[in-house]
Structure 1
Amino acid sequence: MSFQFQEHDFERIGRTLGAEPIRKDRVVCYEIKNEDLGQIVKLEISVDVEFPGDLKDEIPGHIITAETTSCQLHLVGCTGLVAEEDFREVIFYAKGHNVVNALVVQATAWCQVYSNYDRRLLDMDYTKMPSQISNSVISFLMAEGILEGFKFDEDEDISIEG
């Protein structure tokens, strides 16, 4: 079964990021502020987006957008999330045929995107990887290790509360 956002997911995301969900039809928005640093992230979750033609059956219809003063990041085809209240971050991910993509949003109004990570990287010794990707692989591995039984490479897409 494909991943579907539930009401409890939106509440959990809000608790984790310290922001209230604002609902507009099939879009849920959050504004995450860090007044000390003067940073704001506007997070938008668009659910059940219909893609044209054959793509409708191939791409999950959830788009995650994080907008800052200097960039706009998109994760198309979100297949799950991990909301970790202790780390105060939400990892939205999209699993493809052999790749994992992720958009990480933190309560400190910080966000990161990881794209086109071959799933085999998650099984390798991260200490032997190029330094450019070792930290992001560690983030993926932390997301896997937060909860017992959660793996990015399982067939079923799920949401997880940490």
Structure 2
Amino acid sequence: MLHAFVAEPPCAVCGRPAAHVELVAPASQPADLHRWSPQQRDAYNAARRCHDDQQWWLVFSGIVAGNGSGRPVDPAEAQRIADAFTRPYRYAAVTSAGFYDDAGFCGQCDAPYCYHHWNVSSTGYGRCPQGHGKSLDPHWWPDDL
């Protein structure tokens, strides 16, 4: 059964969240909306008004990029994301959610890392503490390889 959730896989080095993944149920609000800036709240409310009140909503913040005030997701995508973020968090499951940066996970380490431990370059390419590299930004260009 599909339900709202917040997932923040902890960095394997320091414990800070590697990413923020929140699935917001229809006619609900993000868990921490009260902490958003007035501009972020306005953008979220405006975006929600443009969609069906029975729409699931995804709010994502990754290592380098995110989806701002969120975006609508259909029930099938919402279920896929919910299944991907069942504890214990594992790369094989998380990658099925389809996030560009795999929510901070290094596939070779099967561990999530926060921005500070990904050693991210100015182009969005990162290296985990073990030296494994990957693009963490959907607009990345490989000029620093």
TM-score (norm: length of structure 1): 0.33
Q: Which has the higher strand share?
A: 1
